[in-house]
Structure 1
């Protein structure tokens, strides 16, 4: 089964006292103690981010690893990543992360991981990256469309309720035909693609996932059923 879990926000980096989304990601692997590798490549403070990851996942029933591209653990990054049960991508600058991945060949390796059935997950930039396109603030100024890896059709917008300009900027991009229809997720919400099935979950009761698109020239949002993981 091919799986992607795209989080609009939440997880250990935004909700350090609420492990519901992170535990959900681990459970999706179907393993009793899954190996999970963190990719902190979207930030310029990767060491701190990785330390926070280890602190959080040491409390969960998992075997945590991370991949540094400044001090790689091995020359064979493909074997290293394809040996994982879960690959979890952190937030930050989507454009810079994708450029780094292409230089190191991680874009190709992650496609192989997806086809192998390794769970691919991430927050913000780490959610954007799996779609054809995303709405991003990677470049200073107005939010723009950015082409991504294309493992999931359509577009993605994170932090839908968490940043004032996220919703109106996405509506402008959709109205102008500058971005494909797709999904938008609030902070603390995630959309889970498992082959052809789509499931939405949240770590707080109010968080939602939306399907967004156009009907004629009008932007439409469909709030998808979103299960609170603490229920």
Structure 2
């Protein structure tokens, strides 16, 4: 019997929507097991914003891949076709926006179940901001306006995720408060500019496109104090 494929997730602190150099997107594509991967963009968290979709096409059409976009706000596929599209992808790339709305829309259309199935089959799942939050058990979010905790997610990655850790005021302190209070489990805080690969739930690679950006593991010491461990990251390209 063939061994089960590795289940892999990538959390991105950047990419085509924020960076000009393409380093994180090129790294993400390099993780695919095929020379010309099928990459499906899910812009659900932005309400399928047309400008965001166009950004994706502009960034990925010139690359060695087969880009596609799945719209749920203007859904044209029945359930069987939706399943066929998602399970045929090598990479599913989830965009940023509102994490709470993203999860609600996915569950309405059954996309949450299909992504779990794709993950178990070896599809590389990745995303930025809300597209990173969604894979964990909980996340730090501004989905409701002020920064707060969201004890909800697909749970494919144990623990919690906090994006924009170094770039948005209040992120670090608010995330620490949520972890210290037990509102969020220990988890991963992403500076803008990093990429983190998790294989079967374990961190197996971390990269950075800028000199200072890092990945941090945030947890408590069991006595109420928060511990923050900065993880080693490999530099990407000439940005270093």
Return 77-86 or 38-47, whichever deviates more.
Answer: 38-47
Identify the residue that residue 234 of structure 2 maps to in structure 1. 227
Identify the residue that residue 213 of structure 1 maps to in structure 2. 219
Return 218-227 or 188-197, whichever deviates more.
Answer: 188-197
RMSD (Å) for aligned C-alpha atoms: 1.3
Deviations 1:33-90 (A, max 9, x none): 1110000000135211111000001221111000011333521211111001100000
Return 172-181 or 139-148, whichever deviates more.
Answer: 139-148
Give yes or no for the alignment of 1:202 onto 2:205. Answer: no
Deviations 1:177-207 (A, max 9, x none): 1110011010011211023452111122221
Q: Distance between the aligned counterparts of 2:82 and 2:32, measured in 1?
A: 21
Q: Per the alignment, in what secondary structure is the counterpart of residue 108 of structure 1?
A: helix
Unaligned runs of 5+ residues in structure 2 are: 1-5
Q: 1:93 aligns with which of 71, 91, 98?
A: 98
Correspondence list, 1:106-185, <5 A: 106-185=111-190
Q: Per the alignment, in what secondary structure is the counterpart of residue 172 of structure 2?
A: helix
**C-alpha deviation, 1:12, in angstroms:** 0.3
Deviations 1:90-136 (A, max 9, x none): 00000001000000000000000100100000000000000011011
Q: Distance between the aligned counterparts of 1:164 and 1:193, measured in 2?
A: 27
* Superposition TM-score, scaled by structure 2 size: 0.92
Q: Distance between the aligned counterparts of 1:118 and 1:150, measured in 2?
A: 16
Query: In the comparison of the two structures, how many residue pairs are matched?
Result: 229
Identify the residue that residue 104 of structure 1 maps to in structure 2. 109
The question of whether the paired residues in 2 share the 8 Å contact of 1:39 and 1:66 is answered with yes
- From the superposition, tell whether residues 161 and 197 of structure 1 become closer, same or farther in structure 2 (CA, over 3 Å): closer
Q: Per the alignment, in what secondary structure is the counterpart of residue 119 of structure 2?
A: helix
- From the superposition, tell whether residues 136 and 145 of structure 1 become closer, same or farther in structure 2 (CA, over 3 Å): same
- From the superposition, tell whether residues 34 and 156 of structure 1 become closer, same or farther in structure 2 (CA, over 3 Å): same
Q: Per the alignment, in what secondary structure is the counterpart of residue 29 of structure 1?
A: coil
Q: Per the alignment, in what secondary structure is the counterpart of residue 64 of structure 1?
A: strand
Q: Per the alignment, in what secondary structure is the counterpart of residue 13 of structure 1?
A: coil
Identify the residue that residue 65 of structure 1 maps to in structure 2. 68
The question of whether the paired residues in 1 share the 8 Å contact of 2:196 and 2:203 is answered with no
Unaligned runs of 5+ residues in structure 1 are: none
Identify the residue that residue 18 of structure 2 maps to in structure 1. 14
